[in-house]
Chains A and B, each alone.
Chain A
């Protein structure tokens, strides 16, 4: 055997590039680190810390120099046995369900109307999307302005319809519906946008087949349009449900922390804010926050299950 090391080297010598240290991995790490740190301190840490606080008796305003007192599940027991907590969730539901349903029906209907070619479609679409692009606080502010007792809404109701004025912001039975109205005005465009995306994705040939085979308009809607669009609509509903469920800004601007007449429009989010940052019962507020989180996760899971069923075709 000859000495292997004397064999001629066929391999080219490894180059040492100038930016050798600048590897893909290094780039990935350097891009991700700031985001990860931010997430860690702004989201992950508060999440865990508030979970701990929810098992303690502590106030961020009153007990700054004392350690939180561990009370076990006492906060949760108190909250879940307190009728007021349930009331807040019921009120939230009474807002979320009508708001999302109306947004869905209206948005889908408008999308059906817009799902064709006509002059000025682009401009009309842009116009319709404006509410969605505004800040919720701004939206709530001008609606509060319009909904005041002597506001423009009541002026038109009296002058045009000849109906007595509505106590938009102060009526016990009306307040929550005012909130629904504002939310519908703001978020119907979102439903319309998603519906339109779904509608334009339905293959044309299905409608053509229906035309050749004498399908009625109802059949086309029921057996072509609806099943093809449903998965997207469900996603839109999940988004809107979760968003509406934690509604705070519009309700706060329209009714303040108390949630309007007799708390009739105090949503769960408002209530949490009141407990945590008005009464400064930090421990109890954290517990309430976690209850809300669990409800949202449960709701989302139910919808995702329905969504998957819809996708696989029942």
Chain B
């Protein structure tokens, strides 16, 4: 197993800049997930590491050895494709055995290794079938198996769960995480599904427009986003955003129709002056909803209620903005009712309106 290190990697397709100066390190045995919206450059990053694309500048090292210029075969990486890329005319066994045959192992040894991996992936009974006879989830396991038999330095996975149905995707998430820990392997995994990233990754790297936004453990990505993009992309429902300004004399944030008293040293971190120069962000679960008004609350009207079972998601209209808040399922309300919201002085985010950088 091995570490992976990318330094200042850039790649363009014609005039489109796919990656700009990407620097990212993955530790030995780490499960790192590259998260970002469609077109962010995630797959390009992975393909550069695999050797399927050649970056214009920068170095990519696997186990401290620069691999730029090496062919995909020489890099000792496994690539799991979104579309699985199984050889259609070969059986599952042949598909999995192939990377070993290329190494000229004895037939007995190949059979033993394939069967070992197959039992790990619970596909032993599928070994004599052909890919076209398998379901998506089974094909995905075979593709994983083909990657695993080689015991590569690094596993590269390009949205491997995207083509699966929801239930299977949830199952496979846990399965993948278990496998990764069991193998102790280095996983470099690409997805646009933030839930997938949050649930599986040791660390998450967030990419947008070819630029790295943040690399952190899932909890920090969620609770300490580096900028407004990360804050908006991670978390469901999406974080609520409202423009606001700072009233430093009274130590509070002022928005249209609401204000919030700042606590601690938050104020010191804000620059002086006023005007609507900040964006206030708060997650749905960090807003307290009450029926009693006081000087700290903001009144809003329930627009839609979305019962989720354990919780209920409320869309509340605050002047012109719509805000999503989560309340316990026992909190019964109906559209049109006026409720009062209170923001927690500890649990909010403040972003620069120009740059989107996190301030608090």
Give residues in A with beta carbon < 8 Å to B. 203, 205-206, 208-209, 211-216, 219, 223-224, 227-228, 313-314
Contact = CB atoms under 8 A, between A and B. Distances in A.
B81 A208 contact: yes
A227 B99 contact: no
Interface string B68-105: 00011100011101010111111000000011001100
Given A205-B83, A313-B132, A212 B78 contact: yes
13 contacts: A203-B85, A205-B83, A206-B85, A208-B72, A208-B85, A209-B87, A211-B52, A212-B77, A213-B98, A213-B99, A213-B150, A224-B87, A313-B88
Given A208-B79, A313-B132, A215 B102 contact: yes
Interface string B126-164: 000010100000000000001000100000000000000
Nearest to B75: A212
Given A209-B79, A213-B73, 13 more contacts: A203-B85, A206-B87, A208-B50, A208-B79, A208-B81, A211-B51, A211-B73, A212-B73, A213-B150, A215-B98, A215-B102, A227-B88, A313-B89
A213 B102 contact: yes
A205 B102 contact: no
B88 A213 contact: no
Contacts of B87: 206, 209, 223-224
A249 B67 CA distance: 61
In the A-B complex, the 7 residue pairs with the smallest Cβ-Cβ separation, listed nearest first, are A209-B85, A214-B73, A227-B89, A211-B72, A214-B102, A212-B79, A205-B85
Contacts of B81: 205, 208-209
Given A223-B87, A223-B89, A212 B132 contact: no
Contact of B50 (A203, A212, A216, A227): A212
A232 to B, nearest CB: 14
Contacts of B99: 213-214
Interface of B: 50-52, 71-73, 77-79, 81, 83, 85-90, 98-99, 102-103, 130, 132, 146, 150
Contact of B130 (A205, A208, A313): A313
Contacts of A208: 50, 52, 72, 79, 81, 85
A314 B90 CA distance: 11
Contacts of B79: 208-209, 212
B85 A223 contact: no
A208 B83 CA distance: 12
B102 A223 contact: no
A6 to B, nearest CB: 45
Contacts of A314: 89
Contacts of A219: 98
Interface centre among B72, B83, B85 (most CB of A within 10 A): B85
A224 B146 CA distance: 16
Nearest to A228: B88
Contacts of B73: 211-214
Nearest to B71: A211
A214 B72 CA distance: 8
Contacts of A212: 50-52, 72-73, 77-79
Contact of A213 (B90, B130, B132, B146): B146
A213 B102 CA distance: 8
A313 B130 CA distance: 9
Interface centre among A203, A212, A216, A223 (most CB of B within 10 A): A212
Nearest to B52: A208
A109 to B, nearest CB: 22
Nearest to A222: B89
Contacts of B83: 203, 205
A302 B73 CA distance: 42
A223 B52 CA distance: 20
Contacts of B132: 313
A308 to B, nearest CB: 14
A313 B132 CA distance: 9
Contacts of A206: 85, 87
B78 to A, nearest CB: 7
Nearest to A223: B87
A205 B86 CA distance: 9
A228 B87 CA distance: 10
Nearest to B89: A227
A185 to B, nearest CB: 34
B90 A223 contact: yes
Contacts of A213: 73, 78, 98-99, 102, 146, 150
Contacts of A216: 102
Contacts of B89: 223, 227, 313-314
Contacts of A215: 98, 102
Contacts of A227: 88-89
A223 B90 CA distance: 8
Contacts of B85: 203, 205-206, 208-209
B243 to A, nearest CB: 45
A40 B102 CA distance: 61
Contacts of A228: 88
Nearest to B79: A212
Contacts of B50: 208, 212
Contacts of B86: 209
Contacts of A224: 87
Contacts of B150: 213
B48 to A, nearest CB: 13
Contacts of A203: 83, 85
B253 to A, nearest CB: 50
Contacts of A211: 51-52, 71-73
A44 B72 CA distance: 61
Nearest to A213: B99
Interface centre among B50, B71, B72 (most CB of A within 10 A): B72
